[in-house]
Structure 1
Amino acid sequence: MIRALTAGNLNAYRSLWLHGLSADPSAFLLTAAEAVATADSALVAKLSAGEVIGAFDSEALVGFVALRRGGPERMRHMADVGPLYVHPSARRRGLARALLDAAVDAALQMGVLQLELCVDSQNLGAQVLYQACGFEQIGLRPRSVIVDGVARNDLLMLRQLDA
């Protein structure tokens, strides 16, 4: 089942987020320490605003994707996608694609015209998924993050929803 998360999913969301950060830290912008330091109230606000969509296996949260609409009025036509994470035990079942499809549907309901995301240039699996879901590379951000002293590049990808 795919659905928007609510404040009631706080503990499951935090747990899966922290698991993802330990299993695949390069897939996330924040470090594990930053995630641990994130106040419950900030996460509850994010969940209550419908900014996170979850994938469930029975009652267990096994994946999520965040969708954040631009804040200033002149940027309200676009939204950022990510992070997207699916627990390794739930991979290869189409859940990442289903989460992205749900994010597109949510964005369309909000009147968003384009979705944008960043993906590590070495994360080929994610790049293939995003391209299969209609995202195109529009740029490269060199040294977008430094992980354990190593500079990593991000690909900038975009999907126009009104094209």
Structure 2
Amino acid sequence: MQVRELNGKDAEDYYELRLEALLTNPDAFITTYEQEKQRPDPLVKTAERLDSPSSRTFGLFEDGTLCGTATLVKETHPKFSHKGSIVAMYVSPGCRRKGGAALLLQEVINFSKAIELEVLHLNVVTDNTPAKKLYEKVGFQSYGLERKAIKIADRYLDEELMELFLTE
């Protein structure tokens, strides 16, 4: 498995994987499959997001096929510029339990250190035990809980807030 930063040329593969993620793990994402499918010019918008200087998206590849992604969003306000957030993390079921997700996260962490971030944050739905274990494995620690963070129809999902200090 290999990891590299994605760019606008990866838009079609990223978009297809994003749709898979929204269908496979709908509770893990705020955007729904239906919302994503209704976006005008989805490949153009996806390419623009992948080329945006405000975030970096990394892809996990197995045999040349994109099977995982994680996006780093760096805070832009000067007083918060030492922090970043990992969002939209997903690995296809066929690529899970092979060490690729940890490899993907480690690449994001290494890049974050290289651009001198000091703290990484992420949120994970509390009942997503495999994801929580993965984040803990690479060093993230829980610092809070947001109850009823997500509302889907008539049910709520709580999110665990996690952080990783890159300098100590």
Q: Partner residue of 2:6?
A: 5
Q: How much identity, in percent, do the aligned residues show? A: 25
TM-score, normalization by structure 2? 0.92
How far apart are 1:141 and its partner, in Å? 0.5
Is 1:129 aligned with 2:134? yes
**Of 39, 44, 51, which residue of structure 1 is paired with 2:47?**
44
Q: Secondary structure at the match of 2:149?
A: strand
Render the CA deviation track for 1:84-140: whole Å, top value 9, x for unaligned.
111111111101100100000111111110000000011111111101110000000
Render the CA deviation track for 1:38-61: whole Å, top value 9, x for unaligned.
443432222113611001112210
8 Å contact 2:6–2:50 — kept in the other structure?
yes
- Range 62-71 or range 35-44, more displaced: 35-44
Q: Partner residue of 2:147?
A: 142
**Of 95, 103, 107, which residue of structure 2 is paired with 1:98?**
103
RMSD: 1.3
TM-score, normalization by structure 1? 0.94
Gaps of 5+ in 1: none
What residue identity is the alignment partner of 1:42? K
8 Å contact 2:12–2:43 — kept in the other structure?
no
Q: Partner residue of 2:36?
A: 35
Distance 2:162 2:119 in 1: 10
Count of aligned pairs between the two proteins: 163
Q: Partner residue of 1:18?
A: 19
Distance 1:96 1:115 in 2: 17
Is 1:71 aligned with 2:71? no
How far apart are 1:6 and its partner, in Å? 1.1
